[in-house]
Amino acid sequence: MKRIPREKAMAYELNKDAPPALRVKLGESFVVETEDAASGLLRSPDRLPIPEHRPTMKFTPHKSNPVGGPIYVEGVEAGDLLVVNIERIVPDTQGFTAVRPGAGPLGDSYSWREATTAYTHIIQHLPGPSGTTRDGTAVFNERFQWPLRPFVGTIGVAPEREVETSVIGQGPWGGNLDCQDMREGVKAFLNCYNDGGLLYVGDVHGSQGDTEFTGTANETRAEVTLSCDVVKRRRIPFPRLETRESLI
């Protein structure tokens, strides 16, 4: 099976001019080995979300949410609708959550002063019934554990012109959606603006609630298996998800 290795899944833009990292056929499964949202720089509690420990924060905008791509899908043209089948997500054996001062809904909170100090916590991932972390358990500490529910946080295609914050923001092309429904078994529909679709994927979360109160969730590396189909000559207002139960 074709794959993008983790060390090459480090793009910070959805760039239409980048050479394809992978070329696949319609219906062909492939793998993207994703890095975590902090580019693998916060792998222990002593590594804090500050520029001294995470130099990618020194850029404007920050280099966050690295993605693998572009993936050129043969048979897809500009003006088509790309259908991305998320077949399998296997998180790493650990993730992290962090407090980045000033980030998230609690970033300027006077009620939660804890959210003003940089902090990193490592979350262990234990395997589940499948023998993998696909259906495993997140261990925060001895008191707090919960089921892993991995999903793809950043997914999109290259727009007609590069948007500086395309892997931080969102648009009709996708981007940093952080939608917890973007999980195994889901179909994602994305407008295509270039031949081949030029898909990018990254920023997997091991789990997340309804938002990121301090700017992060359970951020993790992962191995993501996908395949693509196409709806010819079709446009939609914004990315769409098709789950077994609903349209999102």
Q: Helix and strand tally (H, E) in the chain?
A: 0, 15
- Measured between alpha carbons, how far is 93 from 108 in angstroms, rounded to an integer? 32
pLDDT in tens, 77-92: 999 999 999 999 999 9
Whether the Cβ atoms of residue 60 and residue 171 lie closer than 8 Å to each other: no
Percent of the chain clearing pLDDT 90 (strictly above):
78
Spell out the domains of the chain, with CATH numbers in brackets.
2-236 (2.60.120.580)
Can you list the residues of the chain whose pLDDT is less than 50? none
Task: Return the pLDDT at 131.
Answer: 98
> pLDDT of 155-187, one tens digit each?
999 999 876 556 677 889 999 999 999 999 999
pTM of the model: 0.94
- In order, the DSSP letters of 156-209 are EE--SS--TTTTTSEETTEEE---TT--TT-EEEEE--STTEEEEEEEEEEE--
Query: 16-31: per-residue pLDDT in tens?
Result: 999 999 999 999 999 9
